[in-house]
Structure 1
Amino acid sequence: MKDAKRSGYIDQVPEFPKLKGKNKVVAPPIRYISPADQMRIIEKIPQKHRPIFLFMMATGCRPAEARALRKSDIRGDGKIWFEVAFGRGEELKTVKQAKSGYFPITEEVQQIFDQQPRNLTQWMFPNPTTGKPYTKNINRIWNKACDDAGVKRINLYNATRHSFACQMLNNGTDKGLVSRLLRHSDPRMIERYAEYEEDPLRAAVEKVRRVDFTNKMQTNNTGDKNE
Structure 2
Amino acid sequence: MKGKPYYFSDRNRWRIGWYDEKAHKLIFIDKYNGNYMPVTAFKKKKGGQYLLGEKNNFIPDKDKCQGYKLAQKLLALIQGRWEQARRGECTFRIEEFTKKGWTDVIPYFEKWLKTKAKKKPATYKGYKSYFRNWIKPFFEKYPIQLHEVQLDTLDKLLESLKLSGKGKHNVMMCFHAFLDYAWRAKRIFEIPPFPKKEDYEIVEPTITWLPSDRQISILDVIPEEHQPIFWFLKYHLRRPAEACALHKCDYDLINKVFTIRRSISARKLVSSTKTSKEHVIPCHSRMVPLIDFLAQQPGDFMFQNPRARKAGKRYTNESLNTIWKDACKKAGENIDMYSGLKHSSCSQFINEQGMALSDLQTITDHARLDSVNKYAKTEVARKRELMEAGSEKLSGLLRLVK
Structure 2 length as normaliser, TM-score? Answer: 0.46
Code of the aligned partner of 2:212: P
Code of the aligned partner of 1:157: Y
**Equivalent pair of 1:100/1:183 in contact (CA under 8 Å):** no
1:14 aligns with 2:175: yes
Q: 1: CA distance between counterparts of 2:286 and 2:235?
A: 7
Helix, strand or coil at the partner of 1:33: coil
2:374 maps to 192
Query: Which of 249, 257, 262 is matched with 1:72 structurally?
Result: 249
> Per-residue deviation at 1:147?
0.7
Structure 2 vs 1, CA of residues 192 and 21 (structure 1 numbering), >3 Å: closer, same or farther?
Answer: closer
Query: 1:95-147 CA distances to partner (integer Å, 9 max, x unpaired)?
Result: 15664212222212314414538422121101122351101221101101101
Gapped runs of 5+ residues in structure 2? 1-115, 132-173, 178-193, 397-402
> What is the count of residue pairs matched by the alignment?
211
Helix, strand or coil at the partner of 2:271: strand
Q: 2: CA distance between counterparts of 1:158 and 1:124?
A: 23
RMSD, aligned α-carbons? 3.3
**Equivalent pair of 2:251/2:295 in contact (CA under 8 Å):** no
Structure 1 stretches of 4+ with a deviation exceeding 4 A read: 20-23, 96-99, 198-207
Query: Which of 75, 100, 104 is matched with 2:278 structurally?
Result: 100
2:134 maps to none
Gapped runs of 5+ residues in structure 1? 219-227
Aligned ranges 1:25-44 → 2 under 5 Å: 25-44=202-221
Code of the aligned partner of 1:162: H
1:173 aligns with 2:350: no
1:89 maps to 267
1:159 aligns with 2:340: yes
**Equivalent pair of 2:234/2:345 in contact (CA under 8 Å):** yes
Aligned ranges 1:101-180 → 2 under 5 Å: 101-114=279-292, 116=294, 118-130=296-308, 132-136=313-317, 137-152=319-334, 154-170=335-351, 171-180=353-362
Structure 1 length as normaliser, TM-score? Answer: 0.78
Q: 2: CA distance between counterparts of 1:163 and 1:140?
A: 19
Query: Which of 200, 217, 233 is matched with 1:56 structurally?
Result: 233
> Per-residue deviation at 1:198?
5.0
> Per-residue deviation at 1:5?
5.6
**Is 103-112 or 51-60 further displaced after alignment?**
103-112
**Is 13-22 or 180-189 further displaced after alignment?**
13-22
The structure with the larger Rg is 2
Code of the aligned partner of 1:132: K
Helix, strand or coil at the partner of 1:103: strand
Structure 2 vs 1, CA of residues 199 and 70 (structure 1 numbering), >3 Å: closer, same or farther?
Answer: same
Q: 2: CA distance between counterparts of 1:143 and 1:88?
A: 21
Q: 2: CA distance between counterparts of 1:97 and 1:20?
A: 22
Q: 1: CA distance between counterparts of 2:358 and 2:197?
A: 33
**Equivalent pair of 2:263/2:274 in contact (CA under 8 Å):** no
2:74 maps to none
Q: Which one scores higher on RCO, CA 8 angstroms, separation ≥ 6?
A: 1
1:225 maps to none
**Equivalent pair of 1:99/1:184 in contact (CA under 8 Å):** no
**Is 67-76 or 53-62 further displaced after alignment?**
67-76
Q: 2: CA distance between counterparts of 1:82 and 1:138?
A: 19
Structure 2 vs 1, CA of residues 141 and 73 (structure 1 numbering), >3 Å: closer, same or farther?
Answer: same
Percent of aligned positions that are identical: 27
1:221 maps to none
Q: 1: CA distance between counterparts of 2:203 and 2:376?
A: 15
**Equivalent pair of 2:248/2:301 in contact (CA under 8 Å):** yes
Code of the aligned partner of 1:156: M
Helix, strand or coil at the partner of 1:14: helix
